[in-house]
Chains A and B, each alone.
Chain A
């Protein structure tokens, strides 16, 4: 990179806000995925004006720009695929306003997801999207990826909770879209921007909805001796139109790893469990809990038990949220997939994943958002075994193809990023993709903003990307 650009960035932001030494850059080569990409320079803006200045400089030097929050993404969204400047939002981490009457918060993009919920807890409020990484991921990252989480079954994903954004466009202009009102007339630009994976504009301020904490929460654990009984229970809960706040499934393989790590009280000898949470008015929670227990028993659940208190409930959820970490204890590496299927296709899909696991001789754990059909198969591998890693990628691709065949989608919450952009033609026609290209070009005409993401580059059509070297830190989640 031109030393002159570094000097100009330092003059703009101050030397403390620019990193360019090789050892510093290494820390920003990866995210939570198995991808890797080397940036040439890292900058830490503190305002939209800073971001605008960086964008203008990058344009002058024709250098790519990539926005980054905490780097917890799972599809390579924050990786500098073509090098260039990585804009890290960690110093734009202020909660600017809590509007209690209108149930809104205005935050900078670097605010950590859980910190917002903590800041409004005393008001009895919370921010609904709750990805597993919520202790570290940022709201800016959530906006880019349209993040979900277990409780999005009832509350919706990030896009359902964003009413307004401040953007820095690729020409450096600062513009506001949407606002604080629940709706904005005209084109829903916020709806387009949320989930655009940092390819359309840089987000410098976010207005989000805050939700009222429910009166009652009940967490059920249903234990099963067969996978089919477990998945059939999920189908039946959906069919009966019972809507729990969360409905998570952990298979026995994953469960044993989790239990050894977290000691949440999961039975280690079962085929799978469902972790089901019901929220709302006490009366509604009791009625729904009874219905769900009934469904689980009818499908031969060995046991259905309710968490007795908040502590027990927190422990069960810790088991769920730290499951990825637990897998890191039993395998050098894992590759987490993120597919979606219609919920009624769950039983056949899990059987198919079992077949794929046998076919490729790979251990695959399943821990996922069963209630909305959002799968997360975790394929374990050893990074030193290149032949094995090629099988991992092939198995991942086969699972994806199955999801598409049964009417599903390539990703439910992790994003396309640089992991699945070459798979996009499985879902979309050339005309669909050409229109998406045009929309990207309307915002990002030179293609310098987060290049090589979301849309296929046409190099390896229909394939998951095989990274050159699996990143050593890829087991983070």
Chain B
């Protein structure tokens, strides 16, 4: 802090109240970002306190990193500067829920699991079944644009977020969008905040549309010998009239996490498996059971299995928590989120597997068939792997993605801080739209107060 720490502390205590400002060592350590510690933790109660904190930060040239459940802070580069950890966990109210309109307005600190519970009371849900469900908060999930298996049927945050309120890097409160389900009034600034990793503004309210829970559910697992067969099966289903809500492709590495030996359902881990989940009236689920089975047979599946509820619920939970399961088993794993077109799935997976095997890493991949891949590279158990070899692997994955023929784009979601430091850059070569990105950053946060250096291109 540029001013004396004590004076800064007093001012922040004036803003947020003494109980909600802390320089306690353990509190600071809990909010480290990629190995960098803040000087102070501030827990604001509302948007006005956030605005005041940010205006203070501008005046004092302090850097602020907003956070909620702290499950996605591993994404991005280490902050170039980091003074204030802006902890939004106190802002955890549901501000407006109108189940009859199927719309919802919430503060950023609401935990996703709590929110799903509130919605379930009205037989509704949000398609945000994300990893670390019990800790993840709305603001973090939106800022990280976290992927949910339900993306296949319901789209991503951008598709069901109706509007937002936020505080810009200058400490100005602003909003865009609204609370109605169809709206083209003004620029969709809130879409920019989705996936912006806290570099543009601090989100203070998110409005969503909600969805009805449907009466019946079915989960089906088909196993295959090759990636091509598994992928081809998914393409066939996507071209059929069937309407699954979850379609995931697991490789043999992922199978170890999804089908543990002690699980209620017994699925023999095969090289490749495709999981479909269907909801609707029971006639709809039954129809899927029949036709998915038939299509799987035609696609040369080794096995096709319909799971009952006792098997389905834990499997879907493990799919949701796949990154967490990997990290529990291998805390230093490198986990990438990869965007790719469905036709590129087999070739990209093959290339990743080659890179892993050359580096002596285990590889596990869970792929949403619509084109989002969670790729985990883990040092094998019991073998010491240096951070340097992990860093080299990060570079190779990013290098591969820079090739135009790769048809894929990767973002590093989890990675040890030391590996990041050695890799130097976690974003890969600059994209063509970087100059536009810079201009937008400058429009929202001209003083570079918010999460400086975390984003691509040093933003």
Contact = CB atoms under 8 A, between A and B. Distances in A.
Given A188-B158, A432-B175, A435-B172, A283 B187 contact: no
A148 interface: yes
Chain B contact-residue range equals 35 or more
A101 B235 contact: yes
Interface in A116-154: 124, 145-146, 148, 152
A429 interface: yes
Contacts of A196: 187
Nearest to A291: B281
Contacts of B156: 182-183
9 contacts: A146-B188, A148-B184, A188-B191, A192-B192, A287-B281, A342-B180, A369-B182, A412-B182, A435-B168
Contact of B101 (A159, A177, A342, A440): A342
Contacts of A374: 182
Nearest to A413: B184
A435 to B, nearest CB: 5
Contacts of B168: 435
A196 B189 CA distance: 10
Contacts of A372: 180-182
B118 interface: no
Interface stretch (B53-61, B79-87, B438-446): B438-446
B182 A283 contact: no
Contact of A215 (B189, B241, B337): B241
Contacts of A283: 280-281, 283-284, 286-287
Contact of B195 (A100, A185, A243): A185
Given A241-B123, A416-B185, 13 more contacts: A146-B188, A157-B182, A181-B340, A184-B409, A186-B196, A195-B187, A241-B102, A281-B284, A284-B281, A284-B283, A369-B182, A413-B184, A455-B186
Nearest to B96: A407
Contacts of A99: 341
A180 B194 CA distance: 19
Contacts of B145: 183, 185
B439 A187 contact: no
A237 to B, nearest CB: 11
A186 to B, nearest CB: 6
Across chains A and B, which 6 residue pairs bring their CB atoms closest together, nearest first?
A241-B212, A191-B191, A215-B241, A442-B439, A283-B283, A438-B443
Contacts of B444: 435, 438
A212 B241 contact: yes
Contacts, number: 238
Nearest to B413: A185
B370 interface: yes
B195 A281 contact: no
Contacts of A187: 192, 195-196, 200, 437, 440
Contacts of A410: 185
Contacts of B442: 442
Contacts of A342: 98, 101, 103, 179-180
Interface in A338-390: 340-344, 369, 372-374
Given A344-B98, A435-B174, A181 B409 contact: yes
Nearest to A175: B432
Interface string A231-253: 00001001101110000000000
Given A175-B436, A185-B337, A428 B281 contact: no
Contacts of A476: none
B183 A412 contact: yes
Contact of B456 (A157, A186, A214, A281): A186
A261 interface: no
Name A's interface SS. Answer: loop
A285 B277 CA distance: 19
Interface string B197-238: 000100000000001100000000000000000000001001
A427 interface: yes
B124 interface: yes
A176 B101 contact: no
Nearest to A188: B191
A429 B180 CA distance: 18
A122 to B, nearest CB: 13
Question: Which of A180, A183, A341, A443 counts the most chain B CB atoms within 10 A?
Answer: A183
A185 B339 contact: yes
A439 B443 contact: yes
Interface in A160-198: 160, 169, 175-177, 179-189, 191-192, 194-196
A408 interface: yes
Interface of A: 99-104, 124, 145-146, 148, 152, 156-157, 159-160, 169, 175-177, 179-189, 191-192, 194-196, 212-215, 235, 238-239, 241-243, 280-281, 283-284, 286-287, 340-344, 369, 372-374, 407-416, 424, 427-429, 431-432, 434-436, 438-443, 454-455
A32 to B, nearest CB: 15
B347 to A, nearest CB: 13
A414 B183 CA distance: 9
Interface of B: 98-103, 123-124, 145, 147, 151, 155-156, 158-159, 168, 172-176, 178-189, 191-192, 194-196, 200, 211-212, 235, 238-243, 280-281, 283-284, 286-287, 337, 339-343, 370-372, 408-409, 411, 431-433, 436-437, 439-440, 442-444, 455-456
B372 A183 contact: yes
A413 to B, nearest CB: 6
A394 B445 CA distance: 40
A344 B455 CA distance: 41
A408 B172 contact: no
A180 B212 CA distance: 30
Contacts of B411: 185
A392 B236 CA distance: 54
Contact of A124 (B194, B239, B340, B370): B239
A433 to B, nearest CB: 8
Nearest to A195: B184
A281 B241 CA distance: 7
Contacts of A146: 184, 188
A215 B159 CA distance: 24
Contacts of B124: 241
Contacts of B184: 145-146, 148, 157, 195, 411-416
A176 B98 CA distance: 39
Contact of B189 (A102, A176, A192): A192
A241 B214 CA distance: 9
Contacts of B440: 187, 189, 192, 439, 442
A284 B216 CA distance: 12
Given A181-B409, A191-B194, A195-B184, A428 B175 contact: yes
A99 B407 CA distance: 14
Contact of A160 (B155, B200, B455): B155
A416 B186 contact: yes
Contacts of A175: 432-433, 436
A72 B36 CA distance: 55
A309 B149 CA distance: 37
Contacts of B437: 186-187, 189
A434 B170 CA distance: 12
A407 B96 CA distance: 12
A427 B186 contact: yes
Given A187-B195, A281-B284, A436-B187, A443 B176 contact: no
Contacts of B243: 280-281, 284
B160 to A, nearest CB: 9
Contacts of B102: 238, 241
Contacts of B433: 175-177, 189
Contacts of A343: 100-101, 181
